[in-house]
Chain A
Amino acid sequence: RKEVEQDPGPFNVPEGATVAFNCTYSNSASQSFFWYRQDCRKEPKLLMSVYSSGNEDGRFTAQLNRASQYISLLIRDSKLSDSATYLCVVPSRNSGGSNYKLTFGKGTLLTVNP
């Protein structure tokens, strides 16, 4: 299993729709997770952090299922401005085991249509 795997997408949804992305991770010891948003030709920006079972911020909800080792991102009432690539990020141990590095999934492209 890859360290971080995401729904390949792309997702095309109408405005107002609810859409959910999944991300699976291989390291059962992982304790924190992040969702980033990346607009075309821009840098990734943090959307949400997930440290326990989940997190909610307005229209965005992240849920963590440790038993199945996946994280989901739910977007309700989609807006045109939500169109972007969503990246799942999991800290993983470096080769020496002494510290953490951030491993990014390949990303899921979302397009919200009028």
Chain B
Amino acid sequence: EADIYQTPRYLVIGTGKKITLECSQTMGHDKMYWYQQDPGMELHLIHYSYGVNSTEKGDLSSESTVSRIRTEHFPLTLESARPSHTSQYLCASAIQGLTEAFFGQGTRLTVV
């Protein structure tokens, strides 16, 4: 089993609130990813990082921001949540190179 953890698992929050989704891994992986996935739909890459102080935007435009101050930690922040942000957010990590990624269990976000 991969050692990558996301908190919270479920979150219901009001419109306009600031939220941070946490993702931590204990494998020392350099690469970390955030994906967004609606039910029954494909995964969309929204942010990724190749190491400390390295972050890039993914293929899907997102109003969220990320930071990578420590190797093991890759939090995602929404400054002002909206109902359109309702989705599942999946964090993943991988070692460098052409390798597979390991996923956390996801955060299911509902903005009301």
Contact = CB atoms under 8 A, between A and B. Distances in A.
B103 A101 contact: no
Interface in A10-66: 31-32, 34, 41-46, 49
Contacts of B39: 41
B86 interface: no
A101 B48 contact: yes
Contacts of A44: 43, 90, 103
A29 to B, nearest CB: 11
Given A94-B56, A99-B50, A104 B103 contact: no
Interface in B28-45: 31, 33, 35, 39, 42-43, 45
Contacts of B45: 101-104
A87 interface: yes
B101 A102 contact: yes
B105 A43 contact: yes
B15 to A, nearest CB: 24
B33 A100 contact: no
Nearest to A89: B100
A53 B94 CA distance: 23
Interface string B92-109: 101011111111111000
A112 to B, nearest CB: 18
Contact of B43 (A41, A46, A49, A104): A104
A76 interface: no
Given A43-B90, A102-B33, A49 B100 contact: yes
Interface of B: 31, 33, 35, 39, 42-43, 45, 48, 50, 56, 58-59, 88, 90, 92, 94, 96-106
